[in-house]
Amino acid sequence: MRTLRIEGYVIVSADGMLADSRRIMPDELKFEGDKRFFAAALDRADLIVHGRHSHEGQPNSPQRKRIVLTRTVGAIADDPSNTKATLWNPAGASFEVACDHAGVNSGTVAIIGGPDVFDMFMDRYDTFWLSQAPRVKLPDGEPVFSGVPRQTPQDILAQHGLLPGESQILDAAGGVSVTPWRRRLHTS
């Protein structure tokens, strides 16, 4: 039986941006505490999923199984540059087929962006780990979800049935914290 747990990870600026106006994650959004938190989470994950420009670039990255979204393939293909990676075009194959190709049918899947990929899984997250850097502003930056900045990232997570848990401080000097947004349990 397929039992995948879906978790999202991102750090955003005070105005809900994950990258600057050049669609690059600037150094001002990089904090050691958040990097450690993110690396530890990815070390526990069984599968990483991201768009072609959102590779996490960590020392343990080569060991990780991943699915990379791209329109350069029709459906599913091996990645010629990485034996642990599956190339996936959602227009041609379901996520389940991509997971089968990656050889992962149970465990935790970490969704790490960018915005289109976060949007695609919005109704499937078990937990979305939202880190925020409240002293960083990225005017004209790249919004984390398609509804930002009209709405905050928190509003959007709540609208999709997620509730905030207890926040942890990741970088005291920068005021950076992470909040787990967990899916409400259905009682009926």
Ligand X SMILES: NC(=O)c1ccc[n+]([C@@H]2O[C@H](COP(=O)([O-])OP(=O)(O)OC[C@H]3O[C@@H](n4cnc5c(N)ncnc54)[C@H](OP(=O)(O)O)[C@@H]3O)[C@@H](O)[C@H]2O)c1
Footprint of ligand X (CB under 6 A) = 10-11, 18-19, 23-25, 29, 50-54, 69-72, 89-90, 112-117, 142
For residues 160-177, b (16+ Cβ closer than 10 Å) or e, as one string?
A: bebeeeeeeebbeebebb
Closer by beta carbon to ligand X, 22 or else 106: 22
Closer by beta carbon to ligand X, 60 or else 106: 60
* Nearest residue to ligand X on Cβ basis: 51
Neighbouring residues of 187: CB distance < 8 A, sequence distance ≥ 6: none
Amino acid residing at 166: E
**Residue 82 Cβ, how far from ligand X at the closest point, in Å?**
14
**Residue 10 Cβ, how far from ligand X at the closest point, in Å?**
4
Closer by beta carbon to ligand X, 51 or else 180: 51
Of 134, 146, 113, the residue nearest 15 (C-alpha) = 134
* Dist. CA 87–CA 10, nearest whole Å: 22
**Residue 72 Cβ, how far from ligand X at the closest point, in Å?**
5
Closer by beta carbon to ligand X, 21 or else 106: 21
Closer by beta carbon to ligand X, 54 or else 108: 54
**Residue 88 Cβ, how far from ligand X at the closest point, in Å?**
8
Is residue 156 within 8 Å of residue 179, measured between CB atoms? no
Of 172, 186, 25, the residue nearest 112 (C-alpha) = 25
**Residue 119 Cβ, how far from ligand X at the closest point, in Å?**
9
What are the DSSP calls for 81-117, one per residue? Answer: TEEEEEEE-TTTS-HHHHHHHHT--EEEEEE---HHH
The angle formed by the CA atoms of residues 74, 88 and 156, to the nearest 5 degrees, is 120
